[in-house]
Structure 1
Amino acid sequence: MNEPQLKSLLDDLDSRKADADAISRLVVTRLAKQHIPYRAMLGKLELDGKVVSPHFWVEADGCVIDYRGRQRLDNDSRAPHGVFTREEAKARYQGQQIVIDPLPDYMLAAIKH
């Protein structure tokens, strides 16, 4: 799956009122349902000396998926947002892979209402 396809699949999650960990869980859930391999990440995000830590994001098919990095960096327009390649990011991601389980169907149905 390429970057535009991932954006199409995931961008609607950006409107959810949730922090980086919860958004990452929703991303993981949607990717898992589509059988798309992913890596959930925990670490820090840095832009021009500003550091956000801890920070959660997801990586899939050569892309970084982060819908809360910009918000956590005081809405700096240079901060990454959404689905993008690591090379496109003006910020630096540093972290390690963690386990974030996809939401079970009953929980996903409950938060949709």
Structure 2
Amino acid sequence: MSYPQLKNLLDDLDAAKVECDAMSRLVVTRLARQHIPYQAMLGQVELDGKVLSPHFWVEADGCVIDYRARQRLGGDERAPHGVVPREAVQARYAGHQVVIDPLPDYLYEVAVKH
């Protein structure tokens, strides 16, 4: 799936009032429903000496998917927000793959409607 397609598929999730762990779970659920391979990640994000840790994000098709780093790094425009091609990421991500199971339908529907 291309960057624009991933962005189109996921950007509406940004409206959910959740932190990075729950946001990653929403992203994983949406990707799993579309049978798109992904890696859920846990680690840290660093930008100009500011470190955000622990932090969750998702990687898929050469993109970093992170809707919470920017707000938690003080709104810096260089911090990733949303679906960002790996080569355009200006922050340094370090972490390891973790298992995040997709949400059951009833929980997913509640989370994306609020």
Structure-1-length-normalised TM-score: 0.96
Match of 2:79 in 1: 79
Q: Distance in 2 between matches of 1:106 and 1:81?
A: 27
Q: Could you say which residue in structure 1 is the equivalent of 2:20?
A: 20
**CA–CA distance in 2 between the matches of 1:110 and 1:65?**
22
Structure 1's unaligned 5+ residue stretches are none
Match of 1:44 in 2: 44
Alpha-carbon deviations, 1:35-91, whole Å to 9, x = none? Answer: 000000000000000000000000001110000010110111111111011210110
Equivalent position of 2:62 in the other structure:
62
Unaligned 5+ segments in structure 2 are none
Counterpart-to-counterpart distance in 1, 2:87 and 2:110:
37
Counterpart residue identity of residue 34, structure 2 = Q
What's the counterpart of residue 31 of structure 2? Answer: 31
CA distance in 2, matches of 1:29, 1:63: 17
| Aligned twin of 2:101 | 101
Q: CA deviation at 1:110?
A: 3.1
CA-atom RMSD, angstroms? 1.0
* Number of the residue aligned with 1:5: 5
